[in-house]
Every structure is written in structure tokens, then in C-alpha cells.
């Protein structure tokens, strides 16, 4: 890709002056139309030292409305960034719909640098590119228009440019001499990385950077046409139908057994021993968590389950055994307008705790494949895509220092009814029961199918599901605490 | 305060068991009522090592709904926190309405520690307490119920407790011996600090911590009664009328001259020289900003002005002279629901850039004393309080490494009319003109009075207002760029 680009393209001063006014007003018009179009734009700017990446960006800021565009550099990560999964620093600045974000280098920066300096081999490079492809696909499938630009320069021009400028933090080499020496390696690795990540959803554009007018105009035209064509085709790309994700089933009940049918709801806690057992577990947990804190391990506990299965009380019993300074309970509410303007995982990325802490999710991103699926709040293509997205997300949470545990609290429909009636008749529990709970109850079968597929598709070795028999509340609680304790203890041994 | 607290208060196990159920259900009920009451709760927990501060907090988490309560520790600041004004780390975790936040130590922690170790003298202590009083007043006057708890322990009990426990990061001393040695100094300084900050809006509660049941129950009762009484009196405290803030004026026009009347709207740029001058300024700015970045200085540029005075284009010309990686333009839109659930300054605190960067506010927190005042979006007491709050806020932005510059772009009503007509008749400018602009125009006199008071009250030596004659757009732009350049150059010399 990079070798064929030395075509000597130029734009004369006169042509530049002639074309600029219309280009600029169309750019502004398209940018304004974005605001009502539920589309965000992400530009990734990469290229050789001396190719003028920063100048292009400045030009775009000049030509567009600066209130709708933000440029982000990813120089040395802050300690808050280092304490979280590597992609957290990108998620925190992803553009909302209506906005344009420019990433200088973005997720390519570190990979390319490591490759050039021989710090990663080919297999490692593939491994590093996997999350790149994943996040780009995920964002493109959502509502983001992704355009990636590589600025290319002949060697002699590069030498001349670099010798008269100071290096900025975006440059790879401190001097013209070093850049020229590293030029071949850069080109070779860039070629491989660009080819590997040049997808229809997030294409690379190779731009000759020798002639600055050509460089800036062609960048702007590319952005403009991409915006205009996206704005013209207002079909919902993200909802394009996908093939069904599950086998079609015979009608016989025996053919419709789900993972939940294998949960032994008869399990009971020993009533005599229960209190003591619980206290011991809470005590152990407290000690373990300070050790986990000391090691900088981050724990993510996800609670899902039927209404009235006891998520709230389980979390309460669990947290009694934790120091309040070390954990955070994150409830799941209706998303805010700001959250709706981003990918649905964005709100959970924002909640990633610092190293050593525990994040407890009282309902979670699984809403996408449960309530949103069943109630039709999202399109089939969206929840179908979510399984892969969630697995990828959790694998990043797991990372080097994470521990992800997921719990489904299971009760029978009969027990649920008993608890609903109890809530209705106990004054201080009434806030817990809503019309929605009764409506959900009627859709039990649909929900159960969704739970089944969820568990099948997202039960991974790094983020396992635990199906908890909660028919007896006490038994359920003890199980959860035991599982958390055992997982933490095992994690500390690693 | 602290010497009189050794009363030996206790609660027996039986009494504890008897009182707890009702206490807990009232706590939960009050917490739930909070959610609809437009009130947030902030608890500050301080006290002696060994007094069980963390245990109290865990108890509160147990007794309350953990989904509505978050505890925040302020151990070593992260580098992202260190690069911003010191109070940024508190602002980022202030509770939204409906939420309870517990601050371990909060803003008292560092002050008390520094005082105990003799790192600050009395005058310095006063200086450190000023922002404490300010933020507490500000939050209390907004919608926050602030309760501060100090846990006190007799020396012998403290010794016994500390000798059997490991120190946590909240402890001041690593061992029982050290804590006892430092006990007198701590008590002495705590006494002074508590007395100085014990206000009606944010009172301290001294709690004997020897008997754990008494300690936990009295904390919970205090919180409960404060919540219940706040919920019972739904009068809007924050809107309680204040005395008028400005002198009443005679009717004669000569008595109603404002600061804006002193701006020379005849000022014109030299048309021949303008382009060159602008380019030179932009070039100088670019160099200066990299130096500013190198020194870690943070720049805040605030733009206010009449509709169509040229804020947008001035910002565009200004940013042409800046590297896009170093600045951010922050537009001022209608607040989101999440922002409305906080103090009005919260959304601007969130935007504080990292060290070395430039934040450009296209309209700003001055909306409080301009549009919100004139349109009646907030109560008189609220905008009257805002002047002091803004001065305090800007003094924190200024801090050790900040530079705050504020611009009011001034044009005559006649020039404004010309520009409105031009916008109406130019297709690609039409989005810039709305019915609201025409309505605002009719209220020019009211706005002018508001601008006058704003400038008089918030023109400080650390965050000066610059009134820019923008009747001639080119002149206005050049002035702004010159002022920014000169201020940056001067700041670098310091």
C-alpha cells in the first residue's frame, strides 16, 4: 500500500484558493447536519515523522466548527489510565453522536512503535491487533464513522522537513538522522499493520504529504464525502439483519431444557450453621480484599437474576464483609441522554474502578441481551452482536490484573410469586415492586431463552457464569460469598 | 469541643437489638425519599486512629441501600489529580441529588495532617481553611446536606485498639506507640480546625467511639434526623432572599453609565496591516504554547459577549495559532439531567484540562449571572451568591500553575442588528441565528446591567476581564490575540 503512493500529486495555490470556499462551507454544513443524525465521527491520524500530521489536524480545526471537534493525544498514560484496562483511555474520550474526535495515533501508536523497535514478534503483533479490529468493528457497527489517515513522505523530503523542525511528542524519533535510519523498518511494519486493519468499516487512506495543499485538501475531501454519503443514507446500518444466532427448536418441552433447568432449586442452607458460616465468610473476605488491594488486582462482580431473586440483599451480605473504602456498588438505571449518545458499553467502561478496588454491578451490560432483547429496546442485530462485544470487553477487564465473576440468581416462578406478594403486603418493601415486575413475570419463557443463550455464549474461562440456586435465600448468599472468597484466594496465589 | 466528650456513653446489646429494626427501616425510607427530593447528602468522616471510622462507614453501607451510597477515600492523589486545582478530586466525586457520598477525611485530611506535623503555621492554616468554608457553604446553599463526624477515643482505649489492629491507609500513624505520642498534637489541632469549621450549614458532630454500639447508632440517628428534617421542610433553602446586591440608581441616563459605555467602539484595525499582524500573532502564540506546555502551566480562556459579537470567529482565529493537541474548545449548551443534579459549577470543574493545556470556554459559568439571571432560570439568591462562588472557583483555577483570562466582546445594538440581518440572508449562516437571539436583543438594557455587575464583581487581579471593542471584527480579534500573547509571555517570565 505504501510503496505505490509516491505519485507526486499537487495542488497549485490558485486551485487551492478556488476550491477552498466551497469545500469549507460544505464541511461546516455536513458537520452541522451530523448533530441531528445520530452519527459520530472518529478520525485516526498516523504517518511518518515530518509528514505534518499536526498541521493537518490544525487545518481541520480551522475549517470545521471547533465546538464540535476534539483532538486527543495519547502520550504517556497517566497513572489512572495505567490502573485500568489499556483501552479505557480511548473509551473515555470516544466521540458522542454529533461530535468529531481526532485521535493522534490512537490505538495504533503503541503497536507500531513496539513493532518498529522489535519489541513484539509477528504473533504478538496479531494479538495486539485483535482488540483494534474488535473496537473498530464495534464502533462502526454502532454509529461511528471511522476514517484512518496515513501520511506518507519520500525520504529526501522527510529529511529536509525534519532538519528544520523540532520534534513534538508525536514524533517517533528525536532527529532527522534517526528518523531516516528507522524509515525502512517503519514503512515495513506500517505496511503490515495497515493492510491487516484496512476494513470496509474502518478504511485507511494513504495520503501523500509532500505537497501540503494536496495533503490538507484531500484529507478534508475524504472526510467531507464520507460524512455526506453517511448523511445521505440514513438507513440504520447497525440494525441490518444478521442470520439467526440460535438453533430452531422442536416444540417438545424436553427439547427446550435450558441451563437453568439444571440448577438444583432444592438446595438449602443448614439453618443452624448459617449465621456462623456467613460471619466467617465475611471475615475472610475482608482480609482477602486488603491483600487484593495490596497487589493492585481489580475485581468485577456482576449480578443478574430474576426479579426478587435477592440481588440486592446478596450484595448487602457480601459487602458487609468488605471495607467500604474498597468497593463500589453500581446500580443499573435507564441510560442518560449523554450515555445514549455513545456505544452501550461506554457507560460501563466509565465505571471501571482503579486498581485494587471492587466494582459490584447490580445488573449490568447484560441488559443488552436480556431486557433490551426481550422488550425490543434494541434491534436483533444489536443484541446478536453484543455477545462477542461483551466477551471482548470482559477479556479486557480480566487483562493482567482483573478478576471477573458473574452470578445469575435463580428462583422458581412459584417462589417469585410468593416474594412479590410479600413485597406488596409489607409497607417498607413496597417500593421494590412495580408493575414492570409483574409484566416481566408473564414473559418468563422468553426471558429464560435469553438467559440460556446468554450463559452459553458468554460463559468464558476468564469470566465464568455462576448459576446460583436462590430458592433458599440463605443458601444462595452463602454460595455467592464462597465463590467470591475461593476465586479471590486462588487469584492471589497466581 | 473535644475535651468535653468523654462522657462514657454506651448502648447495651439488648437496647441495640431493640432499637435497630426501626432505625434501619426509617433510614431506608429516608434514603428512598431523598431520590425524589432534589437533595444530596455528604458525610465527612474524621477522627482518631483506632476510633473505627471505617467500621462506622461499613455499618452505614450495611444499613442503607448500597446502590445509593458511595464512599470515597483520598489517599495519594493520582497524577491526573495533581495536574489540576487541588479541589478537583473532590468535585469529581461530589454526590448528585438523591445520592449519599461519604468522604473519608475529605478536604480535612491533608490540612490536619500538615498541622499535626508542624508543616503549616496558624496563618497558613487559616488560608487552607478558607476554601473549605467556601465549598461547604456553596454546597449547603445549593442542595447538599453536609454532616461532619469526628470520632473521639480516650487514650487507654486507643492504645488497646491500635495494638491489636493493622494500620490502614486512613490511619495517621503506623503504630499504637506513634499514635499515642502524636495524640496531644492531633487533639489540639483538630480542636482548632473543628471549631473554625463548625458552621450551621455544615456542623461537626463529636461522637464518642469507645462503645461501638453507641458510636454506630448515634451516627445513624444523626444522619437519619438530619435527612428526615430536611425532607420535612421542603422550602427551597437555596432560594432564601438575600439583600439586594447593587445600589439603586436614579433614572437619569448619566447615572446609569456602565463599564461597557467606556469601551471605545470606534476602534478600527489598520486594514493594510491586519493580515500580516494576525499571522505574526498566531505564529508567536504557537511557540508560546509549547513553552507553556513544557512548564505545565494551564490556561483558561473565557469568552462571553453579545450575540453575533464574534465569539466563534475570534476563537477560530485564536486557535489557528495553536496546536490542536494542546487546546480544547468547550461550548456551553443546555445542561444535561446529570449536570442539573449537581451544583452549577460542577460541569465546569469536570472540564478542567490537564497541566500544560488550554481550555477555551465559548460561554461559561457566567451564564449563571447573565442568561440565568435575566431570564429568571435561577432565583435571585442563587445568582447573587454566584459572584463569590465564581471568584473562588477562578482563584482555584489560577492556583500555582494557572492563567485565567476573560473576554467580553462588545458591539453596539446597531452593529448587532446589521449582523443579524446578514445572518438571516446568508444561507450558510442561518443556523447561527435563532428566535432567541431576537428576544435577547430586546432585553439589551437588562443584560447590560447584568454585564456591568458581573464585571464589577468578578474582575480580579488573578482573573481579569478584558472588554473588547468588536464593532470592527478585525480589531477585536487582534486585541484578543495580543492580550493572550502578552499574558502568556508574562506568565512564562514568572
Q: Answer whether residue B23 shows pLDDT above 70.
A: yes
Coil, helix or strand at residue A390: helix
Binding-face residues of B in 157-186 toward A, CB within 8 A:
168-170
Per DSSP, B9 falls in state -
Asked if A58 and B324 come within 8 Å (Cβ–Cβ), the reply is yes
Of A162-171, B314-323, B355-364, the range with the highest mean pLDDT is: B355-364
Q: What is the mean pLDDT of residues A146-160?
A: 91
Asked if B65 and A312 come within 8 Å (Cβ–Cβ), the reply is yes
A332 touching B (Cβ < 8 Å): no
Per-residue confidence (pLDDT) for residue A241, from 0 to 100? 63
Supply B94's cell numbers.
461530589
Per DSSP, B463 falls in state S
Q: What is the mean pLDDT of residues B435-459?
A: 90
Supply A278's cell numbers.
456467613
Asked if A325 and B57 come within 8 Å (Cβ–Cβ), the reply is yes
Q: In sequence order, what DSSP letters do the residues of A169-193 get, joined into one string?
A: TT-SSSSHHHHHHHHHHHHHHHHHH
Cα angle, residue B238 at apex, residues B236 and B243 outer, rounded to 5°: 115
Q: Answer whether residue A253 shows pLDDT above 80.
A: no
Per-residue confidence (pLDDT) for residue B425, from 0 to 100? 83
Measured between beta carbons, the chain B residues lying within 8 angstroms of A331 are 67-68
Nearest Cα to Cα of residue A17 among A228, A225, A216: A216
Per-residue confidence (pLDDT) for residue A349, from 0 to 100? 94
pLDDT (tens digit per residue) in B188-244: 899 889 888 888 788 888 888 999 999 999 999 999 988 998 888 765 555 556 666
B416 touching A (Cβ < 8 Å): no
Q: Answer whether residue A240 shows pLDDT above 80.
A: no
Longest C-alpha distance within chain A, in Å?
91
A254 touching B (Cβ < 8 Å): no
Of B197-211, B302-316, B332-346, the range with the highest mean pLDDT is: B302-316
pLDDT (tens digit per residue) in A335-355: 888 888 899 999 999 999 999
Asked if A324 and B58 come within 8 Å (Cβ–Cβ), the reply is yes
Pairing of strands A144-152, A69-73: unpaired
Measured between beta carbons, the chain A residues lying within 8 angstroms of B332 are none
Nearest Cα to Cα of residue B406 among B307, B299, B279: B299
Q: What is the mean pLDDT of residues A189-207?
A: 87
Nearest Cα to Cα of residue B122 among B191, B192, B181, B185: B192
Percentage of residues in chain A having pLDDT higher than 90: 58
pLDDT: which is higher, B430 or B395 = B395
Per-residue confidence (pLDDT) for residue A69, from 0 to 100? 93
CA distance A254 to chain B (A): 40
CA distance A444 to chain B (A): 26
A431 touching B (Cβ < 8 Å): yes
pLDDT (tens digit per residue) in B395-413: 999 988 999 999 999 999 9
Asked if B331 and A67 come within 8 Å (Cβ–Cβ), the reply is yes
Q: What is the mean pLDDT of residues B381-386?
A: 87
Torsion of CA A121, A124, A128, A133, to 10 degrees: 100
B12 touching A (Cβ < 8 Å): no
> How does residue A251 score in pLDDT terms, banded at 50, 70 and 90?
confident
Most B CBs within 10 Å: which of A52, A66, A356, as the mutation test of the B interface? Answer: A66
Cα angle, residue A19 at apex, residues B419 and A105 outer, rounded to 5°: 95
Q: What is the mean pLDDT of residues B352-361?
A: 94
Per-residue confidence (pLDDT) for residue A44, from 0 to 100? 97
CA distance A64 to chain B (A): 9
A384 touching B (Cβ < 8 Å): no
Contact A89, A107 (CB under 8 A): no
B233 touching A (Cβ < 8 Å): no
Question: Half-sphere exposure of residue B181, counting CA atoms within 13 Å on the CB side?
Answer: 8
Burial of B400 (0-12, 13-18, 19+ CB in 10 A): exposed
Interface contacts A/B by beta carbons within 8 Å = 106
Measured between beta carbons, the chain B residues lying within 8 angstroms of A80 are 78-80
CA distance A262 to chain B (A): 31
Asked if A65 and B29 come within 8 Å (Cβ–Cβ), the reply is no
Binding-face residues of A in 338-357 toward B, CB within 8 A:
338, 354
CA distance A405 to chain B (A): 19
Nearest Cα to Cα of residue A245 among A458, A465, A463: A458
pLDDT (tens digit per residue) in A415-452: 999 999 998 887 767 777 888 888 889 999 999 999 99
Q: Sign of torsion, CA A357 A362 A366 A372?
A: negative
CA distance A436 to chain B (A): 19
> How does residue B248 score in pLDDT terms, banded at 50, 70 and 90?
low
Per-residue confidence (pLDDT) for residue A235, from 0 to 100? 56
Q: Cα separation of A181 and B472, whole Å?
A: 52
B58 touching A (Cβ < 8 Å): yes
Among A61, A338, A360, select the one facing B324 at the smallest CB separation: A61
> How does residue A3 score in pLDDT terms, banded at 50, 70 and 90?
low
Coil, helix or strand at residue B462: coil
Among B79, B323, B329, select the one facing A58 at the smallest CB separation: B323
Per-residue confidence (pLDDT) for residue B235, from 0 to 100? 56
Per-residue confidence (pLDDT) for residue A144, from 0 to 100? 92
Most B CBs within 10 Å: which of A56, A324, A477, as the mutation test of the B interface? Answer: A324
* Spatial strand order in the sheet of B40-47: B69-73, B100-104, B40-47, B144-152, B204-208
Crossing angle of the two packed helices A106-116 and A176-196, in degrees rounded to 10: 120
B337 touching A (Cβ < 8 Å): yes
Find, in chain B, the residue whose alpha carbon is nearest to that of A66.
Answer: B329
Per-residue confidence (pLDDT) for residue B238, from 0 to 100? 56
Asked if A325 and B73 come within 8 Å (Cβ–Cβ), the reply is yes
b/e per residue A156-173 (b: at least 16 CB within 10 A): ebbbebbeeeebbebbbb
Per-residue confidence (pLDDT) for residue A112, from 0 to 100? 94
Residue ranges of E strands in A84-154: 100-104, 144-152
Asked if A29 and B428 come within 8 Å (Cβ–Cβ), the reply is yes
Contact A193, A107 (CB under 8 A): no
Q: What is the mean pLDDT of residues B129-137?
A: 90
Measured between beta carbons, the chain B residues lying within 8 angstroms of A337 are 336-337
Per-residue confidence (pLDDT) for residue A4, from 0 to 100? 59
Binding-face residues of B in 279-308 toward A, CB within 8 A:
290
Asked if A324 and B61 come within 8 Å (Cβ–Cβ), the reply is yes
Q: Answer whether residue A254 shows pLDDT above 70.
A: yes
Find, in chain B, the residue whose alpha carbon is nearest to that of A328.
Answer: B70
Q: Cα separation of A423 and B372, whole Å?
A: 45
CA distance B35 to chain A (A): 12
Binding-face residues of B in 29-48 toward A, CB within 8 A:
29, 32
Q: Any idea which of A72-76, A234-238, B199-203 has the lowest mean pLDDT?
A: A234-238
ipTM: 0.71
CA distance A358 to chain B (A): 12
Asked if A61 and B315 come within 8 Å (Cβ–Cβ), the reply is no
Q: What is the mean pLDDT of residues B361-379?
A: 94
List the domains of chain B with CATH numbers. Answer: 3-234 (3.40.50.300), 253-493 (3.40.50.300)
Per-residue confidence (pLDDT) for residue B337, from 0 to 100? 82
Burial of B248 (0-12, 13-18, 19+ CB in 10 A): exposed
Q: Sign of torsion, CA A475 A476 A482 A485?
A: negative
Q: Any idea which of A41-50, A254-263, A281-290, B476-485 has the lowest mean pLDDT?
A: A254-263
Measured between beta carbons, the chain A residues lying within 8 angstroms of B431 are 32
Measured between beta carbons, the chain B residues lying within 8 angstroms of A73 are 325
Burial of B189 (0-12, 13-18, 19+ CB in 10 A): buried
Measured between beta carbons, the chain B residues lying within 8 angstroms of A428 are 25, 28-29
Q: Answer whether residue A7 shows pLDDT above 80.
A: no
pLDDT: which is higher, B67 or B101 = B101
> How does residue A246 score in pLDDT terms, banded at 50, 70 and 90?
low
Q: Cα separation of A171 and A180, whole Å?
A: 13
Supply B391's cell numbers.
471568584
Q: What is the mean pLDDT of residues B169-183?
A: 86
CA distance A66 to chain B (A): 6
CA distance A252 to chain B (A): 42
Most A CBs within 10 Å: which of B34, B65, B325, B353, as the mutation test of the A interface? Answer: B325
A466 touching B (Cβ < 8 Å): no
Q: In sequence order, what DSSP letters do the residues of B295-358 get, joined into one string?
A: HT-EEEEEEEESTTSSHHHHHHHHHHTS-TTTEEEEE--PPPHHHHTS-TTHHHHTTPPPTT-E
Using the structure block, give the residue that is written with the C-alpha cell 456462623. Answer: A276
Per-residue confidence (pLDDT) for residue A249, from 0 to 100? 67
Asked if A67 and B362 come within 8 Å (Cβ–Cβ), the reply is yes
Q: How far is CA B186 from CA A287, B55, B118, B172, B268, in A?
A: 29, 21, 11, 10, 63
Asked if B58 and A312 come within 8 Å (Cβ–Cβ), the reply is no
Q: Answer whether residue A236 shows pLDDT above 90.
A: no
A80 touching B (Cβ < 8 Å): yes
Per-residue confidence (pLDDT) for residue A49, from 0 to 100? 92
Q: What is the mean pLDDT of residues B374-394?
A: 89
pLDDT: which is higher, A200 or B142 = B142
Q: Answer whether residue A291 shows pLDDT above 60.
A: yes
Q: What is the mean pLDDT of chain A?
A: 89
Q: Answer whether residue A195 shows pLDDT above 90.
A: no
Q: Cα separation of B372 and A264, whole Å?
A: 61
Contact B341, B393 (CB under 8 A): no
pLDDT (tens digit per residue) in B275-289: 999 999 999 999 999
Amino acid at each position: 500500500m505504501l510503496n505505490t503512493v509516491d505519485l507526486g500529486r499537487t495542488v497549485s495555490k490558485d486551485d487551492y484558493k478556488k476550491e477552498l470556499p466551497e469545500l469549507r462551507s460544505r464541511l461546516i454544513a455536513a458537520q452541522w447536519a451530523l448533530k441531528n443524525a445520530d452519527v459520530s465521527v472518529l478520525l485516526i491520524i498516523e504517518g511518518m515523522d515530518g509528514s505534518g500530521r499536526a498541521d493537518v489536524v490544525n487545518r481541520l480545526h480551522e475549517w470545521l466548527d471547533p465546538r464540535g471537534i476534539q483532538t486527543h493525544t495519547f502520550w504517556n498514560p497517566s497513572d489512572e489510565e495505567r490502573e485500568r484496562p489499556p483501552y479505557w483511555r480511548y473509551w473515555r474520550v470516544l466521540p458522542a453522536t454529533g461530535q468529531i474526535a481526532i485521535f493522534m495515533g490512537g490505538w495504533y501508536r503503541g503497536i507500531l512503535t513496539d513493532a518498529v523497535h522489535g519489541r513484539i514478534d509477528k504473533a504478538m503483533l496479531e494479538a495486539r491487533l485483535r482488540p483494534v479490529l474488535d473496537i473498530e468493528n464495534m464502533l462502526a457497527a454502532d454509529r461511528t464513522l471511522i476514517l484512518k489517515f496515513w501520511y506518507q513522505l519520500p525520504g529526501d523530503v522527510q529529511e529536509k522537513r525534519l532538519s528544520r523542525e523540532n520534534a513534538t511528542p508525536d514524533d517517533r524519533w528525536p532527529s532527522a538522522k534517526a528518523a531516516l535510519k528507522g524509515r525502512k523498518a517503519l514503512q515495513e511494519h506500517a505496511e503490515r499493520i495497515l493492510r491487516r486493519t484496512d476494513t470496509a468499516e474502518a478504511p485507511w487512506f494513504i495520503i501523500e504529504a509532500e505537497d501540503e495543499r494536496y495533503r490538507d485538501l484531500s484529507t478534508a475531501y475524504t472526510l467531507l464525502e464520507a460524512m455526506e454519503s453517511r448523511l445521505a443514507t440514513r438507513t440504520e446500518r447497525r440494525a441490518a439483519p444478521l442470520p439467526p444466532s440460535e438453533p430452531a427448536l422442536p416444540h417438545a418441552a424436553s427439547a427446550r431444557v435450558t441451563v437453568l433447568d439444571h440448577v438444583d432449586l432444592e438446595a438449602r442452607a443448614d439453618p443452624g450453621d448459617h449465621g456462623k458460616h456467613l460471619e466467617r465468610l465475611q471475615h475472610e473476605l475482608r482480609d482477602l480484599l486488603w491483600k487484593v488491594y495490596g497487589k493492585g488486582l481489580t475485581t468485577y462482580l456482576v449480578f443478574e437474576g430474576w426479579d426478587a431473586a435477592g440481588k440486592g440483599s446478596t450484595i448487602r451480605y457480601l459487602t458487609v464483609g468488605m471495607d467500604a473504602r474498597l468497593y463500589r456498588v453500581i446500580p443499573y438505571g435507564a441510560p442518560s441522554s449523554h450515555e445514549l449518545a455513545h456505544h452501550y458499553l461506554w457507560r460501563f467502561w466509565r465505571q471501571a474502578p482503579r486498581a485494587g478496588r471492587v466494582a459490584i454491578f447490580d445488573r449490568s451490560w447484560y441488559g443488552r441481551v436480556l431486557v433490551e432483547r426481550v422488550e425490543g429496546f434494541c434491534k436483533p442485530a444489536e443484541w446478536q452482536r453484543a455477545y462477542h462485544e461483551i466477551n471482548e470487553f470482559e477479556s479486557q477487564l480480566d487483562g493482567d490484573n482483573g478478576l471477573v465473576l458473574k452470578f445469575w440468581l435463580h428462583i422458581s416462578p412459584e417462589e417469585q410469586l410468593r416474594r412479590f406478594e410479600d413485597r406488596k403486603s409489607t409497607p417498607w418493601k413496597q417500593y421494590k415492586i412495580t408493575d414492570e415486575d409483574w409484566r416481566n413475570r408473564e414473559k418468563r419463557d422468553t426471558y429464560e431463552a435469553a438467559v440460556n443463550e446468554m450463559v452459553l455464549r458468554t460463559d468464558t474461562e476468564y469470566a465464568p457464569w455462576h448459576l446460583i440456586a436462590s430458592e433458599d435465600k440463605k443458601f444462595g448468599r452463602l454460595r455467592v460469598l464462597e465463590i467470591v472468597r475461593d476465586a479471590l484466594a486462588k487469584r492471589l496465589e497466581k
